[in-house]
Structure 1
Amino acid sequence: MEDISFDLARTALVMIDLQHSTVERALAPYSGEQVVGNCVLLAQQMRNRGSLVVYVHVLVNDMLARPADAPLRPPGTPAPPPEASQLVPEAGVEATDIVIAKRQWGAFYGTALDQLLRRRQVRTIIMAGIATNYGVESTAREAFDRGYELVFAEDAMSSMHADAHNFACQNLFRAMGRVRSTAHLIKTLQAGTGEA
């Protein structure tokens, strides 16, 4: 696997939807607990090196709903409780982190994320979160279109179906950036080389 390098001062960890409505779902190939645990490890390593840590959560009751063959929330389903949109306490948000609220799958449209990243001269985004083929993929596509370099923490994300996660990681994400394990990224960060 070819090594890459990135400038940690211009790198941000962006974690998608580590909130009750996603973490508590049945996920594959990694459980919500595993994803959150790996995200916390990455976040601490990034903070220790002065890199930006961003938590994104979706306001589930504000999401636009349009007719669909397989809606995520079928018509007639009761609205989720307010805590569904809240980040789980285990996600470990710290005072120096940025928290972004969104109202759709992707984290860029209608939010200040792009402006916040550009003002900090971020060039590389490490992507993680739930679900791989919804919020993570949508945000990654938006980031790619805006010219950011992307690194995907494969086992710090998961989906409702393992095949959907695997397809995104093996096909889409490798075309947009680099896919690495949490352990690989942490080892690189601890080595202080910025190479992954």
Structure 2
Amino acid sequence: MSVTALDPATALVVVDLQQAFLGLPGSPYPVREVLDRNIRLAGAFRAARLPVVLVRVSFAPDGGDVVPGRTEQPRPALSYPEGWDAPIPELHEPSDLVVTKHNWGAFHGTDLDVQLRRRGVTQIVLTGVATSIGVESTARAAFEHGYHVTLAVDAMTDTDPEAHRGSVQRIFPRLGETGTTEEILDLLAKSR
């Protein structure tokens, strides 16, 4: 695990760290710790005048935009409390880009790629929940889109520690560089 560099045009992309998931029993890191690390990263990116993108998952009340298809696991209920898909106020600033997705990954069916390319972004630092679902899907697509991918592995968590570990140890090193929040903050400070 080592982050070697941050491009001059790097964006922080936070996946699914939204109201509904604050109560998740994150593993290996509690969601509150992950949120605190993301708040620090977002503040540093904003101070460096680099984009912060908050990706949220949301569905229409009638479920019309839920991805179809057969699965072996039951789909989540379509009845969500008001505001479940809202960004977390402590993390969100008006200058942030907010991207709404209806799939696991943040690229398919959204304008994320267009928004990043308009800003000249060549690298993304990924964080969020769940490591093995939304974050991994977004990391795979970012790699396929040609971005340099950096994954802040202590600023993400999962509901399953084995799934988190599998993504971090087996998948992420094939898609980019992995490191800690502190490593990324240090690189940001050195680049200013």
TM over 0.5: yes
Q: Are 2:5 and 1:5 aligned?
A: yes
| Rounded Cα–Cα distance in structure 2 between residues aligned with 1:166 and 1:46 | 26
**Contact 1:23–1:130 at 8 Å: present in 2 too?**
no
Q: Are 2:66 and 1:66 aligned?
A: no
Seen in structure 2, the aligned counterparts of structure 1 residues 32 and 123 have a Cα distance that, compared at 3 Å, is: same
Q: Are 2:19 and 1:17 aligned?
A: no
Q: Are 2:85 and 1:85 aligned?
A: yes
Amino acid at match of 2:16: D
- Equivalent runs, 1:43-192 vs 2, <5 Å: 43-61=42-60, 62-73=65-76, 77=77, 79-90=79-90, 92-192=91-191
Shift of 1:43: 0.6
Shift of 1:86: 1.3
**Contact 1:13–1:125 at 8 Å: present in 2 too?**
yes
Q: Residue 155 of structure 1: SS of its match in structure 2? A: strand
Shift of 1:78: 5.7
Amino acid at match of 2:84: A
| Rounded Cα–Cα distance in structure 2 between residues aligned with 1:19 and 1:171 | 27
Shift of 1:88: 2.0
Count of aligned positions: 188
Q: Residue 57 of structure 1: SS of its match in structure 2? A: strand
| Rounded Cα–Cα distance in structure 2 between residues aligned with 1:53 and 1:3 | 19
With normalisation by structure 1, the TM-score equals 0.89
**Contact 1:19–1:87 at 8 Å: present in 2 too?**
yes
Of Structure 1 and Structure 2, which has the larger fraction of its residues in helix? 1
| Rounded Cα–Cα distance in structure 2 between residues aligned with 1:80 and 1:56 | 18
Q: Residue 21 of structure 2: SS of its match in structure 1? A: helix
| Rounded Cα–Cα distance in structure 1 between residues aligned with 2:174 and 2:125 | 15
Q: Residue 24 of structure 1: SS of its match in structure 2? A: coil
Q: Residue 111 of structure 1: SS of its match in structure 2? A: coil
**Contact 1:20–1:83 at 8 Å: present in 2 too?**
yes
**Contact 2:15–2:56 at 8 Å: present in 1 too?**
yes
With normalisation by structure 2, the TM-score equals 0.91
| Rounded Cα–Cα distance in structure 2 between residues aligned with 1:54 and 1:2 | 23
CA deviations on 1:128-152 (whole Å, 9 max, x unpaired) are: 0000011101111111111000000
| Rounded Cα–Cα distance in structure 2 between residues aligned with 1:79 and 1:3 | 41
Q: Residue 84 of structure 2: SS of its match in structure 1? A: helix
| Rounded Cα–Cα distance in structure 1 between residues aligned with 2:144 and 2:25 | 31
